[in-house]
Amino acid sequence: MDIEVLNRQVLSHPVVNGSRVTRTREAIIASALALAETGDVAPIVRDIAKIAGVSARTVFQHFADTAELYVAVLERVLAADFGDMPGPGAALPLDGRVQLVVDRGAHRYERLLPMWTFVATLQRRSQPAADMVAQVYAANQANLARWFDRELAGLPAEQRVRALNALALALAPESWVVLRERLGLTVERARDELRFVMVAALTAGAPRR
């Protein structure tokens, strides 16, 4: 573990202003996040404390256990990468909206890729983490229904549900992991595949003109 590199990563997650207690807590979260971003599935307190410049005892003064700390890290990740996402604009044609949504998703998921195992493991072990991720997925599906309501409204009822499920699947972080790590696609090729799936889902059941 290169402490200097990790210290630079911590500095990329600036600690908010506030009381000393708040600043220390934020430094601990930022340090654990920096470790998770290197692919560490379960950062240990000793390493987190060293990067944050505190003692292991101080870490446990702020968090009951590592599970609570990991959930705080996940909350930080989701707030930064899956927070409010403005719609692509109804005036854009379908291809333009798909392009914008895919590009935004790819940017977020590429940032998440190094720590995906941490996220996936945590949500299996922690119900609060699983609930947090489920809320993000539900919000994502609701956003897709709103952004592509014009196309979805033109589909038969059963096809509309299937199309929305296909959109949600395409824009799930797991799909990006499969495209990039399991299939070994480049970022641009992975984007192309997502665009293809989304357009196909929205047009496959559309009435012929």
User: Is residue 131 assigned to a domain?
Assistant: yes
Tell me what pLDDT residue 5 has: 45
- Both 128 and 51 in one domain: the answer is no
**What kind and span of H or E run contains 56?**
helix 56-62
User: Which two structure tokens, joined as six digits, stand for 121?
Assistant: 């493991």
Closest CA to 98 of 201, 22, 181: 201
Quick one: residue 172, left, alpha or beta (phi over 0 = left, psi -120 to 50 = alpha)? Answer: beta
Tell me what pLDDT residue 72 has: 95
Q: Is the per-residue pLDDT at 6 higher than 90? A: no
User: Is residue 71 assigned to a domain?
Assistant: no
Domain carrying residue 37: 3-63
Tell me what pLDDT residue 182 has: 96
Tell me what pLDDT residue 86 has: 67
CA-angle at 103, arms to 122 and 70, nearest 5°: 15
User: Which two structure tokens, joined as six digits, stand for 177?
Assistant: 């992991």
CA dist 153 and 164 (Å) reads: 11
- Both 164 and 117 in one domain: the answer is yes
The secondary structure of residue 64, as a DSSP letter, is S
- Both 161 and 189 in one domain: the answer is yes
pLDDT bucket at 87, cuts 50 / 70 / 90:
confident
User: Is residue 43 assigned to a domain?
Assistant: yes
User: Is residue 75 assigned to a domain?
Assistant: no
Span 137-190, pLDDT tens digits? 999 999 999 999 999 999 999 999 999 999 999 999 999 999 999 999 999 999
Tell me what pLDDT residue 204 has: 83
User: Is residue 27 assigned to a domain?
Assistant: yes
Number of domains comprising the chain: 2
Q: What is the average pLDDT score of the chain?
A: 88
Check residues 13 and 110 and name the one with the higher pLDDT: 110
Instruction: Give the position of tokens 């949500």.
Output: 123
DSSP 159-179: HHHHHHHHHHHHTSHHHHHII
Span 189-208, pLDDT tens digits? 999 999 999 999 999 856 55
- Both 155 and 105 in one domain: the answer is yes
- Both 190 and 134 in one domain: the answer is yes
User: Is residue 145 assigned to a domain?
Assistant: yes
- Both 44 and 87 in one domain: the answer is no
Q: Is the per-residue pLDDT at 10 higher than 70? A: no
Q: Is the per-residue pLDDT at 12 higher than 60? A: no
Burial class (CB in 10 A: 0-12, 13-18, 19+), 61: middle
Closest CA to 85 of 170, 16, 142: 142
Check residues 78 and 50 and name the one with the higher pLDDT: 50
- Both 183 and 119 in one domain: the answer is yes
- Both 49 and 8 in one domain: the answer is yes
CA-angle at 110, arms to 2 and 163, nearest 5°: 155
User: Is residue 68 assigned to a domain?
Assistant: no
